[in-house]
Structure 1
Amino acid sequence: MKKMTLVLVFIFSLNIYSQSDFNSKDYAVAYNDLQNNTYEKDSTANALVIYEYGNSYVEQQDFELKTEIKRKIKILNKEGFNKANMTIYLYNNGSTKETVKNIIATTYNLVDNKISTTKLDKSNIFEDKYDENRTLIKFTLPNIKEGSVITYSYTLSSPFMFNYKGWSFQEDVPKLYSEYNTSIPGNWHYNIKLVGGKKLSTNESVLKNNCLDGGRGAYADCTVSIYAMENIPAFIEEDYMTTKNDYLARIEYELNTFQGFDGTVKPYAKTWETVDKELKTDQNIGRQLIKSVDTDVLLSSNILEETDTLKKAKLIYSFIQENYTWNEEYQIFKDVSVKDLIKNKSGNVSSINILLHNLLQDSGIDVNPVLLSTRNNGLATKIFPVISEFNYLIVKTTINNKTYLLDATDKYLSFGEIPFRCLTEYARVLDFKNGSDWMDIELDNTSTVQYRVDLNLDDKQHISGSLLAKKTGYHALNSRKDYYPNKEAYIKKIHDKNPYKEISNHQVLSEGETSSDFIESYDVEYESTESGDNIYLNPFLIKFFNENPFKLQERTYPIDFGYKDSYFYALKLNFSDAYTILEKPKDLVLSIPNNKGQLFFSSVAIGNSIMISFKINFKEAIYQPEYYPYLKEFMSKIVDIQTNSLILIKKK
Structure 2
Amino acid sequence: MNQTIFLSFLLLSSLTLFSQSNFHSNSYRVTLGDLKTNTFEKDSTANALIIYKYGNSFVDRSDYDLRTEIKQKIKILNKEGFNKANVSIHLYNKGDRKQKVEKIVATTYNLVDGKVIKTPLLKKDIFREKHDENHTFVKFTLPNIKEGSVITYSYTLISPFMFNYKGWDFQSDVPTLYNEYRTSIPGNWHYNIKLVGGKKLTTNTTEEKKNCLESSRGGSANCANSVYAMKDIPAFIEEDYMTSKSNYLARVEYELQTFRGFDGRVNDYTKTWRTVDREFKTDKDIGRQLSKSIDLEDLLTLEIINENDLLKKANAIYKHIQETYTWNGDYKIFEDVSIKDLIKNKSGNVSSINILLHNLLKEANINVKPVLISTRENGFATKVFPIISDFNYLIVQATINDKIYYLDATDNYLCFGDIPFRCLNGDGRLMDFKNGSEWVDIKPDKVSKVYYNAELHLDENDIISGNIKSKRTGYHALNYKKSYYKNKDAYLQELENKFPYLDISNFVVSSSGITGPDFKETYHIDYNYEDTGDNIYLNPFFVKFFNENPFKLQERTYPIDFGYKDAYFYSFKFNFDDTKYAVIEYPKVKNIALPNNSGRVLFSTKTVGNSILMSLNITFNKSVYEPEYYPALKEFMSRIVDIQTNSLILLKKK
CA contact (8 A) 1:4 1:186 kept: no
Q: What is the rounded CA distance, in whole Å, between the counterparts of 1:112 and 1:297 in structure 2?
A: 83
| Equivalent in the alignment of 1:6 | 5
Q: What letter is aligned with 2:52?
A: Y
* Residue 599 in structure 1 maps to residue 601 in structure 2: yes
Q: 1:494 to 1:154 in 2, by over 3 A?
A: closer
| Equivalent in the alignment of 1:443 | 444
CA contact (8 A) 1:461 1:528 kept: no
| Equivalent in the alignment of 1:290 | 291
455-464 vs 263-272, greater mean Cα deviation: 263-272
| Partner-residue secondary structure (3-state), 2:5 | coil
Paired residues for 1:526-537 under 5 Å: 526-537=527-538
| Equivalent in the alignment of 2:466 | 465
Q: 1:288 to 1:616 in 2, by over 3 A?
A: same
* Residue 17 in structure 1 maps to residue 54 in structure 2: no
Q: What is the rounded CA distance, in whole Å, between the counterparts of 2:218 and 2:239 in structure 1?
A: 56
Q: What letter is aligned with 2:587?
A: P
Q: For each residue in 1:293-351, what CA deviation from the matched residue of structure 2 results, as whole angstroms up to 9, or x when unmatched?
A: 11134322332222222222222222222332223323322222222323333322222
| Equivalent in the alignment of 1:406 | 407
| Equivalent in the alignment of 2:498 | 497
Paired residues for 1:466-615 under 5 Å: 466-576=467-577, 577-615=579-617
- Which structure 1 residue ranges, 5 or more long, are not aligned? none
| Equivalent in the alignment of 2:426 | 425
Q: What is the rounded CA distance, in whole Å, between the counterparts of 1:580 and 1:229 in structure 2?
A: 65
Q: What letter is aligned with 1:89?
A: H
CA contact (8 A) 1:459 1:578 kept: no
| Partner-residue secondary structure (3-state), 1:343 | helix
Shift of 1:578: 0.6
Q: What letter is aligned with 2:591?
A: V
Q: What is the rounded CA distance, in whole Å, between the counterparts of 1:414 and 1:625 in structure 2?
A: 32
CA RMSD, 1 decimal: 1.9
* Residue 67 in structure 1 maps to residue 93 in structure 2: no
Aligned length: 651
| Equivalent in the alignment of 1:454 | 455
| Equivalent in the alignment of 2:640 | 638
Q: What letter is aligned with 1:637?
A: R
* Residue 649 in structure 1 maps to residue 651 in structure 2: yes
Q: 1:461 to 1:298 in 2, by over 3 A?
A: same
Shift of 1:256: 1.6
| Equivalent in the alignment of 1:375 | 376
Q: What is the rounded CA distance, in whole Å, between the counterparts of 2:562 and 2:387 in structure 1?
A: 26
Q: What is the rounded CA distance, in whole Å, between the counterparts of 2:193 and 2:521 in structure 1?
A: 53
| Equivalent in the alignment of 1:40 | 41
Q: What letter is aligned with 1:188?
A: W
| Equivalent in the alignment of 1:300 | 301
CA contact (8 A) 1:125 1:138 kept: yes
Q: 1:313 to 1:596 in 2, by over 3 A?
A: same
247-256 vs 180-189, greater mean Cα deviation: 247-256
| Partner-residue secondary structure (3-state), 1:179 | strand
Shift of 1:488: 2.9
Q: What is the rounded CA distance, in whole Å, between the counterparts of 2:105 and 2:345 in structure 1?
A: 58
TM-score, normalised via structure 2 length: 0.95
Q: 1:545 to 1:327 in 2, by over 3 A?
A: same
Shift of 1:268: 2.5
Q: What is the rounded CA distance, in whole Å, between the counterparts of 1:341 and 1:217 in structure 2?
A: 56
180-189 vs 427-436, greater mean Cα deviation: 427-436
CA contact (8 A) 2:418 2:444 kept: no
Q: 1:212 to 1:347 in 2, by over 3 A?
A: closer
Q: 1:511 to 1:87 in 2, by over 3 A?
A: closer
Q: What is the rounded CA distance, in whole Å, between the counterparts of 2:326 and 2:625 in structure 1?
A: 35
Q: What letter is aligned with 2:632?
A: Y
Shift of 1:47: 0.4
Q: What letter is aligned with 1:618?
A: F
Paired residues for 1:246-261 under 5 Å: 246-261=247-262
| Identical counterparts, % of pairs | 63
Shift of 1:587: 2.4
- Which structure 2 residue ranges, 5 or more long, are not aligned? none
| Equivalent in the alignment of 1:137 | 138
Shift of 1:523: 1.7
TM-score, normalised via structure 1 length: 0.95
Shift of 1:440: 1.0
